[in-house]
Amino acid sequence: MTQSTKNSLNSDKSNAEEAREIVHDEFAGLNLTEMAGRPGFRGLFDNAFVLGVTCFATLGGFLFGYDQGVVSNVLAIESFGAAFPKIYMDSNLKGWFVSTLLLTAWFGSLLNGPICDKIGRKRNIMGNIIIFLIGGALQTGATAERHLFIGRAIAGLAVGALTHVVPMYLAEISSANIRGALVALQQLSITLGILISYWIAYGTSHIGGTRCAPGVPYTGPLLNGSPTFDPYTDVPAGGCTGQKQASWRVPIGIQLFPALLLGLGMAFMPYSPRWLTERGRDDEALQSLSTLRRKRLDDPAVRYEFLEIKAELRYSREITALKYPNASKFQQTVNNYITLVSTWPKFKRLAVGCLTMFYQQFIGINAIIYYAPTIFGQLGLNPNTTSLLATGLYGILNTLGTLPAIVLLDSVGRRPLLMSGALGCCTALLIVGSLVAAFGNDWPGHPSAGRAAIAFVYFYGVNFAYSWAPIGWVLPSEVFPLYLRSTGISITTSCTWMSNFIIGLVSPRMLAQIGHGGTYFFFAAFAILAFISAYFYPETKGKTLEEMDTAFGDVTSEQEKQHMERICRELGLPSKALLSA
């Protein structure tokens, strides 16, 4: 090599280092969270585009909520009982009817991780909508029990996958200052789905009247001293003469329309810039990020965020390659699961996500949502009309209770809301259980006690709605590093579905067979455990998805720190971009 060539190479190297130093200096004083704008609720309106994309994408949560709410009311409609008497009368079969969707949702959420990584968040949502439409159509047109069960099983695969991918998609398109509020909109959408399904089912339950055969007296089991509907003996030979089958088919079929809207609309939504970066499509990722932030491509904040994502991804890939050299695609997938339990900080992330999802169900919320008319009937209300109306009012309070989370998540933080919510739920459950134990055998003789029990069921719903309901989706979507995010969220989401499945399956038997308010005391015990667990959670508000290592004490070795510093220098980032914030 000649002296002139050496001088030329040295000059090029010097120019490259100088260019990196200029970029480094440009970013040195920047803070991505501060650049993103106002935190929390106020920050939602600083970027109308992201807010609009979020509201649209959360239709996936709406479908989940709608199914939760509609199934509870359909199970109380007499014309449904006349069409499917086994499901209506058998508490075990009723539990399986509810839980079939939950079991396949567990499988769908667990299976969806690798698929989502392969085809992307956007196309994954669109594909699962097609599956949901097939399942929903089967349920709407069901003429035999097997049609209902097969339809719910197919729809469950899609619902489970959507609850995995939608919060992840929202977390990846949002900035740190509003991430909690945006993902909390997923829960608001779920509660809106529950609310709308309650009132639609309440309205359609009056199609043809509220009774299957108004002229036939009830001969079924006694409830609060009065006989109830028995589809085996209280239905005329030609079927119901009053209430029509449309009273239950219409509310089930309506959910097909928002699903179709979501499937078509997602074609026009942006790809996740983090997924595009992971697939090596850097130019598209930068353009997507620019579109989402409503800033120019050369804006320092856009470039900083893009390079931070790129640095975190590159670091994780290079460290993984050093640990697992020559690993195949399948081995890489398996290694992601192994990595989540290989160190305490990684396992802590997984434990926080799974425990949050576990407590979200075992505090008892879905026992009330799925069987609300039954519960309100047991508390002294008319099972045909008044209990359905009370269920609709519960849906309103559940929705309104979610609104404080959108305002407070990114200002107060996750831990305080979780702890206060657990205490409120525990208090309400203990009071309801005590009232049931004292007066459950004679509600007509103690109407004020029944009203108090119903009031505290509402109080329970509000406390859950602002705390464990939204944060159950927020925390798992933000605690994992990019290369483990889809895998981690698939595990945590599958955890909520398995817990949901268990609760949906055993709740009707618990409510029917455990006396003296034991069901409510059971859930209250888990609310106490939830409070204790939340006390030890790290606070994650205001941190970028790339800054979670510090929050979870994921302290790297000196060699890994040097590796991170080298990547940051090569990309022109300050070392704090990955080391801590």
| Nearest to 72, CA basis, from 511, 522, 422, 494 | 511
Helix axes 468-478, 179-204, angle to 10 degrees: 140
Q: pTM value?
A: 0.76
Q: 490-532 pLDDT, tens per residue?
A: 898 888 888 888 887 887 778 777 878 888 899 999 999 999 9
Residue that has been written with the tokens 């090029």 in this structure: 12
CA 418/CA 405 separation, integer angstroms: 10
Most confident residue range from 54-58, 483-487, 546-550: 54-58
SS3 317: helix
Q: Which of 254, 268, 265 is nearest to 63 (CA)?
A: 254
| pLDDT value, residue 125 | 94
Please return the burial class of 275, using the count of CB atoms within 10 Å of its CB with bins 0-12, 13-18 and 19+: buried
Quote the tokens at residue 158: 């899609």
Q: CA-based Rg of the chain, rounded to a whole angstrom?
A: 26
pLDDT beyond 60 at 453:
yes
CA distance 405 to 192: 15
Give me the pLDDT at residue 418, please: 95
Helix (H) or strand (E) holding 196: helix 179-204
Decide which of 219 and 46 is more confident: 219
Tokens of 132: 């949901």
Q: Please say whether the beta carbons of 463 and 370 come within 8 A.
A: no
Length of the chain: 581
Alpha carbons 153 and 131: distance in angstroms, whole number: 10
Mean pLDDT of the chain, nearest integer: 82
* DSSP letter string, 438-480: HHTT-TTT-HHHHHHHHHHHHHHHHHHHTTHHHHHHHHHHHSS
Residue 578 reports pLDDT greater than 70: no
DSSP assignment of 78-111 equals HHHHHH-HHHHH-HHHHHHHHHHHHHHHHHHHHH
Q: Between vectors from CA 274 to CA 272 and to CA 278, what angle results, nearest 5°? A: 120
For residue 555, the 8-state DSSP code is: P
Cα dihedral sign, 375-378-384-389: negative
Phi-psi region of 240 (alpha: psi -120 to 50; beta: other; left: phi over 0): beta
Q: What is the pLDDT of residue 30?
A: 57
Residue-wise pLDDT for 307-334, tens only, equals 888 888 888 788 777 777 877 777 877 8
Residue 2 confidence (pLDDT): 45
Residue 406 to residue 180: CA distance in whole angstroms:
7
Q: What's the distance, CA 256 to chain centroid?
A: 20
User: What percent of the chain is predicted at pLDDT more than 70?
Assistant: 85
